[in-house]
Structure 1
Amino acid sequence: MTVGPPAVTRGAGTGEPPGNPPPTGATPQGHPTHPTPRRGTTPPRHPPRKEDTPMRYACPTPGCPTTAPTRTTRCEQCTRRNSRAHKITLVCGPPCSGKNTWVAKHAQPGDLIVDLDALYTAVNANPTRTDHDQPAALTPFAFDARDAITNRLLHGDHNLRAAWIIHSAPEAATRAEWKQRGANIVMITADQDTLTHRAQVQRPNQWGEHIQDWHRRYTLGHVDRTVTTG
């Protein structure tokens, strides 16, 4: 009968107690091992340490909920929006000052003009544009149309050469809001007698009251350019 080699008992000649398995993470010779990930799996990744996470700050644009890399820089979305806003000109001033006439001289084909009077005409079944007819029933629709166009202009992608916003904007806060967006502010004005005369000749009777109301509401604020007509 053939006799095989003698069985080796664990621990014999190694100094280990017989029958004890090797320590976890070590070979029988005592060397540390690294678990090999299964094929097709990704080794676990440790979360970044707090000191490795870049600091973020609130975007300085009013009302923006996103964060920015520094305290003084805008977030990426507001930066893109601000670059588009530099193509925008807010043309403000009292009624009958000549805002539409000034824009017509400077705008080019394909430019966007946001004019509340034009929107009233667009939604009116029988408009009388020369009288600046503004039926009260159409007011919410005209305002909603203006707000929708403005929102698309500021927040959507577009390839406009320029946009012109015709808005009386007597309050400095309104002009400051557009300036914060990067728009250029142009104030069109005329003396009181010229405004009143134009209203009497070109507009309905209530336009004289609109002119007085604009001057009552007017507050000083930033203007990039002032144009006097008349």
Structure 2
Amino acid sequence: MLYVITGPPAAGKSSWIAAHATARDIVIDLDRITQALTGPGAPQWNHDPIASKVALRARYAAIDEAVKHLDQVDVYLIHTMPSRKWMTRYQRLGAEIVAVDPGRDIVMQRVRDMRSPALLAVATRWYRQRAQHGTPAGRQASRAW
């Protein structure tokens, strides 16, 4: 099964995966990929543009390969704001789309406390996009366990 985990920055997408995935499952997380490709001391979230570009290419390759094995393993993929094209692809693959959203106020505070100020704009765009597509920005706790 393919699980596509969406949500604004700092919503708890990685925590959701940690609570659901097993050691045998494939987890595709751009932040984890970027960390793996950068040297010691690289920041966990504020990535260098070149490192981000290389990691994004690695992510595409990982997705392409992982979906070939959906009959053998579960794949958990973090995709903050999938485009219409990506959503169509995921739906064609029979993906379960999971939106992790503890609420705008909590997300904005987490971003201010733990992440780059630039991610406030990403979170704002996530909530705006969600509202524009008729999906209410309701709360789904990232931790129900």
Contact 2:111 2:119 in 1 (8 A): yes
Q: Tell me the CA shift for residue 213 of structure 1.
A: 2.2
**Unpaired runs of at least 5, structure 1:** 1-86
Change (3 A) 1:180 1:159: closer
What is the aligned-residue RMSD (CA, Å)?
Answer: 2.4
- Residue 88 of structure 1 is matched in structure 2 by 2
Tell me how far 1:171 sits from its aligned partner: 4.1
Deviation at 1:159, TM superposition (A): 6.4
Moved over 6 A (4+): none
Instruction: Name the counterpart of 2:111.
Output: 199
Alpha-carbon distance between aligned partners in 2 of 1:169 and 1:214, rounded to the nearest angstrom: 7
Answer 1 or 2: higher relative contact order, Cα 8 Å, separation at least 6.
2
TM-score, structure 2 length as denominator?
A: 0.82
Q: Structure 1: how far apart are the matches of 2:21 and 2:76?
A: 8
Give unmatched runs, 5+ long, in structure 2.
Answer: none
- Counterpart selection for 1:104 from 10, 18, 23: 18
Q: State the number of aligned residues.
A: 138
The separation in 2 between residues aligned to 1:201 and 1:187, in whole angstroms, is 22
The corresponding residue for 1:228 is 140
Is 212-221 or 92-101 further displaced after alignment? Answer: 212-221
Summarize the alignment of residues 148-227 of structure 1 with structure 2, pairs less than 5 Å apart: 148-154=61-67, 156-157=68-69, 160-169=72-81, 171-218=83-130, 219-220=132-133
Q: CA deviation at 1:181?
A: 1.3
- Percent of counterpart pairs with the same letter? 22
In terms of fraction of residues, the more helix-rich structure is: 2
Q: Hey, what does 2:50 align to over in structure 1?
A: 137
Give the TM-score normalised by the residue count of structure 1. Answer: 0.54
| Amino acid in the other structure paired with 1:134 | H
- 2:119 aligned partner, one-letter code: W
Q: Which has the larger radius of gyration?
A: 1
